[in-house]
Structure 1
Amino acid sequence: MIAALLLSFGVIFVAELGDKSQLMAMTYALRYRWWVVLLAITVATTAVHAVSVFFGHFLGVSIPSDVMSILAGVAMLVFGLWTLRGDHLDDDESTKADRVGKSVFFAVMSSFFLAELGDKTMLATITLSTNHDWLGVWIGSTIGMVAADALAIAIGALLGKHLPERTIARAAAVLFFGFAVWLLWEGLADAGTVTVIATLSAVVVLLGIGAVYLVHLRRSAPGGPSGQDDVASANDIEEPRTTVR
């Protein structure tokens, strides 16, 4: 078991260096609390590698990756739009912050889970588990991936302290859209015509809905056009007249 653990740790750690998972982890850390991102990645990685070990050791089969890549690409697109939306605090800031924290955790966890299904690290874990102790492969591969992503999270958290909030949001959104294109390209490379048309149609509709929603948020924001109109109308109210006797 120890040998399988060490082997799996080394293989997965090296495979993750420079991979899109590291870039995703750094991007999330630019925007959100590092420990929430790391915890979400750990949960997603544990689940993905459990699936890998099950299929590799007990069934000896692999999972088709095209559909998973398409779903992961759509998830990255949604998260990019969400990042452009930004986080707005209500009067009850503690409740809002708690809700945002939970939503970020589940968003990071689900996006990593989808992105890793069918990825090279999952395929490597399946291959290792066919000839080595499954528990050692599971533990070693999970630790290796979390360790590699932790390095990227540290870099992202460090950069986030020295960049303006608006710059971070825009850079993160651009990276998320880049991940979406990357994953969709991988998923659609060998897909049929119907799948390609359906996926591209869904992407266009999603972008259209996101654009309309972002415009609505900008207009309804305090500094937006509607907010300025409200201020102007308030200034137009005449002050009560005082009669001098």
Structure 2
Amino acid sequence: MEPFFISTVAIASTEFGDKTQLLALLLASRFKKPIPIILGIFFATLFNHAIAAFCGEWIGQHLNGVMLHALLTIFFILAAIWVLKPDRINPTKENHKNKSVFLTTAIAFFLAEMGDKTQIATALMAAQFQTLVPVILGTTLGILLVNVPVVILGDKITPYIPIRIVRFISAAIFLLLALQELLKLVME
């Protein structure tokens, strides 16, 4: 249960103000079809994070505990800094009227997640926990917890979300995770 919970919280923390959240808002305002957008986000994230988790598990099997905890500590500190920097996306001028909303969303989200901090975090958590399903499901749920309300409520809620405070809380969560890994590193 710990891998699922930590994966969910860590990923949800990174998503506030992330480019994928901005992408979700852009797609919701452009298409106004929440169900295919949510399904596109779900399947893209599930597939992307499955790839990351498989790679992470393989890495975890080939790194010793000290090296893994050191990498996780460094990543969580960098993620705390990274989450404080706002992401921006540039909406494309491409006409999507004849394309599938689901397919457009799935492809856009899959590509947006490539090399993103959530994909890296997924790989590292899979390496740490050595259990794929709870990590993949947790990271996917974390993405959905933050993006589904944006898709459904869109521009109605974004003015009321104190994004600066959310970023600081997210950074604090990552620093706590870094501290936890540092303690494991010292204990080993």
Q: What TM-score do you get using the length of structure 1 for normalisation?
A: 0.48
Structure 1 residue aligned with 2:153 = 155
Structure 2 residue aligned with 1:15 = 14
Structure 2 residue aligned with 1:40 = 40
Structure 1 residue aligned with 2:124 = 127
Structure 1 residue aligned with 2:115 = 118
Give the SS at the match of 1:143: helix
Alpha-carbon distance between aligned partners in 2 of 1:119 and 1:108, rounded to the nearest angstrom: 17
Structure 2 residue aligned with 1:146 = 144
Structure 2 residue aligned with 1:191 = none
Alpha-carbon distance between aligned partners in 2 of 1:120 and 1:152, rounded to the nearest angstrom: 20
Which structure 1 residue ranges, 5 or more long, are not aligned? 62-75, 88-99, 160-245
Deviation, 1:158, is: 4.5
Alpha-carbon distance between aligned partners in 2 of 1:50 and 1:131, rounded to the nearest angstrom: 15
Which one of 130, 134, 137 corresponds to residue 135 of structure 2? 137
Q: Deviations over 1:87-121 (max 9, x none)?
A: 4xxxxxxxxxxxx4x62211111111011011000
- Equivalent position amino acid for 2:150 in 1: A
Alpha-carbon distance between aligned partners in 1 of 2:152 and 2:34, rounded to the nearest angstrom: 8
Deviation, 1:81, is: 2.3
Structure 1 residue aligned with 2:94 = 82
Structure 2 residue aligned with 1:25 = 24
Length, aligned pairs only: 128
Task: Report runs of 4+ in structure 1 exceeding 3 Å deviation.
Answer: none
Alpha-carbon distance between aligned partners in 2 of 1:154 and 1:106, rounded to the nearest angstrom: 18
Give the SS at the match of 2:17: coil
Alpha-carbon distance between aligned partners in 2 of 1:44 and 1:19, rounded to the nearest angstrom: 16
Deviation, 1:38, is: 0.5
Alpha-carbon distance between aligned partners in 2 of 1:126 and 1:80, rounded to the nearest angstrom: 29
Alpha-carbon distance between aligned partners in 1 of 2:23 and 2:154, rounded to the nearest angstrom: 10
Which structure 2 residue ranges, 5 or more long, are not aligned? 63-88, 158-188
Give the SS at the match of 2:94: helix
Deviation, 1:58, is: 2.2
Q: Deviations over 1:52-87 (max 9, x none)?
A: 1010002459xxxxxxxxxxxxxx87x72224xx74
Alpha-carbon distance between aligned partners in 2 of 1:43 and 1:136, rounded to the nearest angstrom: 16
Percent identical: 31
Q: What TM-score do you get using the length of structure 2 for normalisation?
A: 0.62
Specify the structure having the higher radius of gyration (Cα): 1
- Equivalent position amino acid for 2:30 in 1: R
Give the SS at the match of 1:118: coil
Determine whether 1:56 maps to 2:56: yes
Structure 1 residue aligned with 2:5 = 6
Give the SS at the match of 1:80: coil
Alpha-carbon distance between aligned partners in 2 of 1:146 and 1:117, rounded to the nearest angstrom: 17
Give the SS at the match of 2:93: helix
